[in-house]
Structure 1
Amino acid sequence: MRILIVGTGYVGTTTGLIFCEMGHQVTGLDLDERKITALQDGILHFYEPGLEELLLKHVQAGNITFTDNTKKAIKENDVIFICVGTPKQEDGSADLSYVKNVAQSIGKYMKEYKVIVTKSTVPVGTAELVAEWVKSGQKEKEPISFDVVSNPEFLREGSALYDALHPDRIVIGTTSEKAKVTMRKLYQGFQCPIVETNPKASEMIKYAANSFLAMKISFINELARLCDQLGINVNDVSKGIGLDHRIGHHFLKAGMGYGGSCFPKDVYALLQTAKMNGIPLTILEKVVHVNAEQTLYLMNKIKQGLGGDLAGKTISVLGLSFKADTDDTRESPSLVLIDNLLKAQANLKVHDPVVKLIEGTYPLGPHCQQLQSVAETVSDTDAVILCTDWDEYKQLDWMAIKLLMKQPYIYDGRNMINKAAVEALGFHYTGFANH
């Protein structure tokens, strides 16, 4: 099948390459010439384990090509996936301007029946809007038929390749039998449940899934505060409740809170949809509130441990991305904490195995510098804060680090290292209810 992927970001590129793996011919369309050139050379413009090797494989085999020629790409492909960004607006709603532009372009250039698939995360009712936008782009006296399908992605950054190859489920939202036949054929090689429903339900499934996972994170984080007060190890609680198959152990690890490009945006978008329809989602509102407080909770622990005043203190921050195995810093709790530390007039030395901050942009400056190695970062510092659970940080030689530091304080924002082991080395360790 000839498939067009519009938008060559994280979702679009991963989706396109998986269809290549399933034997389809794929074209990636993007208006950014630099991205197109890099991808055509087999170079990924973002970090995702295993994906660049797959890209190079299919570029060399001729299974995927990249272009900025919108007219030609739309005319030559049967199924069109819309994988463009839907960023959060000031009121929390999703910005659909990129989706609208793509839909109108499809209407303008299509010459025969197309199946148009929204892969981007979009609010409930967007499939109907896409249909209207495609029609508005058509200029022929006799409109050309098409179908719009909602087919949300459920990829985890850092594990996108595995998730795409081994999905828990595939959701297909359409009322068209013709489109269903096409989508079934497209996904016939996958061994997982397929949920066939209408577009609105499909769109809601995506938002509900991410919001529920965000809720699990905020639940265990708020519970960790009580465990802290009661002297209970929240890791034991997480294990004890996670073994209940009705609950599950995923997303029950206490820490600095969620971030990234999906959870914050999707939770806000669902809250905005609820507000517009006069149905308050009070539990979800609390989820957002707890998440926003979590870095402040850690900040207070840091202040207490270092004598209350952080002015002039030198602190190392390990990890900038919102989670391991990605270079995504959007809504990263690490950057929120860095902002608060700088406001408290601390001097910062930061490190990340993948993320490279751009010189001259915030937070880099006279009081915040990024260094190439962990050793340089922790040298002569009063405390080290672990903000991202990279494997590199889990395997650190803490005795060697202690010898480099001015004061032996560790603040574990991800409950990722062995408290007893580092305390035995003479460190003052603080995590989230990690008693």
Structure 2
Amino acid sequence: MGQGRVAVIGSGYVGLTTGACLARLGHEVVCGDVDAAKVELLSRGEVPILEDGLPELVAEGLASGRLRFVHGAVAAISGADFVFLCLPTPDGGDGRADLRIVHAVVAEIGPFLERDAVLITKSTVPVGTAQQITATVQRPDVAVVSNPEFLQEGTAVRNFMNPDRVVVGSDSRAAAEAVAGLYDGLSCPQVVTSAESAELIKYAANAFLAMKLSFVNSVAALAEEVGADVGEITYGMGMDERIGSKFLKAGPGWGGSCFPKDTKALAAIALDHGVPFPLLDATTLSNDQAQDRVAEMVRQAAGGSVAGKRIALWGLTFKAGTDDLRDSPALEVAARLAESGAELVGHDPAVHRDLPIKPGQPTVRVVADPIEAAEGAEVLVVLTEWPQFAEVDLEVARAVSAGDVIVDARNLLDTAAAVGAGWTVVGVGRPTVRPGDPAGSAATDAQLPVVEVAGGETGL
């Protein structure tokens, strides 16, 4: 196993998971963050993000002494042999990643890095970033390594500790192998490449998964028109080992902190290098169309218009198991309904405040439980695949609702049970089922043989 002290710069989602998991692997880790209040919070073992298993891992690291939190990047790197950069790389407004924070931190810490230290980019960065950082740090003794993360929100700890692979790239083979050695405690393949290949692997992986989701949502739209069931279609597709069952779940589109940003960034990289990549544009367009379709389903369920009508939204985060609202497809659908004049009342297990959707639009009034959200609603819409929604008493929900239609945009509910409770169920990529329909027409995924679907199917 690679040896040496580890510094992690940035204690956000990626940085905190990276630091806590490396400490679990036995390394001495210091996490530095610019937010003093966050440092104080984390030093007490209080984790400000919703991520399964992470609070326990942080507590374990603090108790063992292998994990510490400090204020500032320079304080974190003292004595560190490996410095992980886990910093924001947001969309700069034109699809290209904004690296100003990365370069500012590198310039700040450059003079204080230990001799022969290794700088590691964990954040998703464009091709050529390793070379740019080398120029910024101005330290010929400091190697720069790309080590992209492949964490899915909600399962990040499990993803880190049980990865499909560890990717490490650098112009220095020795530095790349030293970083790979930090992960020797994990049972997985290690892929050592050039820095450029490692940087591109992350973008290509995320864009491909987004493309797969867009494809299945377009298949779902076709299934609706021809009377097929997308659940049956994807079950049959997923049995083909060349395709696999993961990321074949139809829904209201994909979102999150990675897929939208990384798909746009890869398109920008291709454009900058003169490489036509029309699949990326089609992937984004298809996602927009999926959100349009769900909003139109709700309008039709409300009689053709949602103006002045109360619509209940079950789920607001971009996927279950996280409190992340960034580029949430649920909120994209909500925005379309708000533009059409709907009154929106929502419930989400991870959201406890009213949400402004977009500037100039009304907020989603957030309530404490799904039954309260359903009270007086003309249409009930399932937008996030929280398992709690599958356990709601649909007879009670029907009794308090003004309407009798569920738009199940995640195909989450037991359709037969919902119809039995008096609901008409409109799913994505499957026929609408109404009370009184012939027995057997109320199809549900539970009737199909179980095929494992990735927990991060709607975003990373």
TM-score interval for Structure 1 and Structure 2 normalised by the shorter chain: over 0.9
Matched, 1:84 2:87: yes
> 2: CA distance between counterparts of 1:340 and 1:116?
44
Deviation larger for 55-64 or 260-269: 55-64
TM-score calculated relative to the size of structure 1: 0.95
The one-letter code of the counterpart of 2:197 is A
Q: Please state if 1:51 is matched with 2:47.
A: no
Q: Give the counterpart letter for 2:370 in structure 1.
A: V
Determine if contact 1:364/1:370 at 8 Å carries over to the other structure.
no
**Structure 1 equivalent of residue 458 of structure 2:** none
Q: 1:102-113 maps to which residues of 2 (within 5 A)?
A: 102-113=105-116
Structure 1 residues 196 and 111: CA distance shift in structure 2, 3 A: closer
* 1:98, distance to aligned residue in structure 2 (A): 1.2
* SS at structure 1 position matched to 2:365: strand
**Runs of 5+ in structure 2 lacking a partner?**
432-460
Q: CA deviation at 1:421?
A: 2.3
TM-fit CA distance, 1:418? 2.0
- Deviation sequence 1:127-170 (CA, Å, 0-9, x none): 001111101xxxxxxx5611000000001111101100000000
Matching residue of 2:131: 128
Cross-structure match for 2:159 = 163
Return closer, same or farther for 1:172/1:273 CA change in 2, 3 Å cut-off.
Answer: same
What do residues 224-247 of structure 1 show as CA deviations (whole Å, max 9, x unaligned)?
Answer: 111110000011000000011110
DSSP 3-state at the match of 1:42: coil
3-state secondary structure, aligned to 1:76: coil
Return the alpha-carbon distance in structure 2 between the equivalents of residues 104 and 358 of structure 1. Answer: 40
Which consecutive unaligned segments of at least 5 residues does structure 1 have? Answer: 136-142
Distance 2:336 2:358 in 1: 13
Q: Tell me what 2:117 maps to.
A: 114
Matches within 5 A, 1:134-145: 134-135=137-138, 143=139, 145=141
The structure 2 residue matched to 1:94, chosen from 93, 97, 113, is: 97
Per the alignment, residue 312 of structure 1 pairs with: 308
1:18 equivalent in structure 2: 21
CA contact (8 A) 1:357 1:364 kept: no
Higher relative contact order (CA 8 A, sep 6+): 2
| Counterpart-to-counterpart distance in 2, 1:304 and 1:358 | 26
| Worse-matched range after superposition: 70-79 or 49-58 | 70-79
How far has the Cα of 1:301 moved from its partner?
1.4
Partner in structure 1 of residue 205 of structure 2: 209
Report the secondary structure of 1:171's partner residue.
Answer: strand
Name the residue aligned to 2:10. 7
Q: Deviations over 1:41-63 (max 9, x none)?
A: 10111111111111112112211
Shift in Å, 1:309: 1.8
CA positional deviation for 1:193: 0.6
What is the identity, as a one-letter code, of the residue corresponding to 1:95?
D
| Structure 2 counterparts to residues 371-390 of structure 1, below 5 A | 371-390=367-386
Number of residues of Structure 1 aligned to a counterpart in Structure 2? 428
Identity %: 38
AA in 2 matched with 1:338: A
- Partners of 1:71 and 1:11 in 2: how far apart? 19
**Residue pair 2:408, 2:425 contacting (<8 A) in 1 also:** yes
Structure 1 residue identity aligned to 2:381: I
Per the alignment, residue 287 of structure 2 pairs with 291
Check conservation: 2:317, 2:328, Cα contact below 8 A.
yes
Give me the CA root mean square deviation. Answer: 1.6
Q: Which residue of 1 aligns with 2:427?
A: 431
Partner amino acid for 1:217?
L
Change (3 A) 1:205 1:359: closer
Distance 1:185 1:208 in 2: 25
Letter aligned with residue 264 of structure 2? Y
Separation in 1, partners of 2:326, 2:222: 29
Contact persistence 1:339–1:363 (CA under 8 A): no
SS at match of 2:130: helix
Letter in 1 for 2:142: F
Offset of 1:291 from its aligned partner? 0.3
